[in-house]
Structure 1
């Protein structure tokens, strides 16, 4: 038996065996189709005398085109998704910065109003003649007496002024007149108020000198820490970070629980960064996080984050 006939017989046997065990017509049809394909291959080899090479059918061009379009759409979606994430991040940053600016503006307005109210109260309290009964009511036209006249009808007031030149530095004709009262020496409260007035007026150089004078003259004052704080504020406003650093550090001695302590800590860190001491600045910010972050306002926290970024603090 020749080889083609043997192959045909084997194929026919497999087909018959498969059909005997087939459970449905679909499987039989598939087997018959496979037998026909195998027969065609065998006869092709017999007729041509060449080896038959069976090649798998290539992909459908239409399917390949659809797959390429789907890949392009997927790449476009990934690109758009990345752009959307960037835009969302930028919008969040802008919203955070805007909110921080509004909070800082509101905080500054509140501080300005508080300072204005305090200055108004101090001016009203310490203005000359503010106490009741010290300033006599201005005389009306009916209550002003006519100037006294001399024996010859001359103005007695003018004659007295001509005779007594004590006001101009000459000898006085009234030896029993009391000497002018000397000005009372300024006390701690007066010195402190004068220094704070310089801060309010924007004279930061004068304020720094005035507070330096205050802490030197009254080293045991109860408000010594607050005086150092305003000294640091005066130096900070002039960007004199070298002098602002020790002023803030002395104001924060003992870490007081005052309203300005958190702000002073952040500004101390900024002054340290500006004087090339980033390690100490990060330590100051760590103290801010530990002691004041829970009570600090949004503007102060935003300023602390900015200083932390400049100092490149880790963690």
Structure 2
């Protein structure tokens, strides 16, 4: 099936070659990103200078997403494809895009970011979580990302590098608008710094430095703010009863009262654990376009400082 999809893709990309970058874009040149938070950053930098397409639609998971041939045709009309870096489908599809459409510039937005490993602790939740130099790496279950945690956008610190990579690429593509892009970039940088500062203020008095999450999407967030992330998911699969028991034991030990579940994931296991430990389950959306608002919402939930987020 995968081979069949590749054949369709290659045919689609060949048809797209030479078709320009202005189709269905209001006459504007096209930039493509993988996820909505990237579109948010790029919108802030380029304003209305380009049309921006997002590969992974809202409500879909980039972990399991495979672009349809029609999506890849549109992607082939882009001047630049901004990949996050190390998300499940990106490397394979971007390689094929590059081979068949050499005029599309591919930018790895994670270039220069200090990366985290997607550790497989084999359910070793009970390791000494009090060792502060391990903050952020209690992502107890492995990703299918070649050992690298791809969720860099959960970290304002990492995002500073990510948006710089975006800026450099669009300035190279459109040097006539460099001044405007750099002015917009400076404004965005201030917003990122402010988001970081507000999160730190919210979390400094958080009642617990640990939280449970279904899919370990907040590893970089946890690293930046001295938190422990404990994931329910194991190797991309639902946990067994014995694995749930282990999570419950760790949660009781660490007095965890917050469980996050990402939009679109099954809530059953999170609800079972919440009932066992008396925690609340909150739905979050790390793929939300309003990147800063979502990170502040997550921090506020952890800090228990705003009733509007706890309803």
The question of a shared fold, defined as TM-score above 0.5 by the shorter chain, is answered with no
- Name whichever structure is richer in strand by fraction: 2
Compare relative contact order (CA 8 Å, sep 6+) and give the higher one, 1 or 2: 2
State TM-score, norm by structure 1.
0.21
- Name whichever structure is richer in helix by fraction: 1
Q: Which of the two has higher C-alpha Rg?
A: 1
State TM-score, norm by structure 2.
0.22
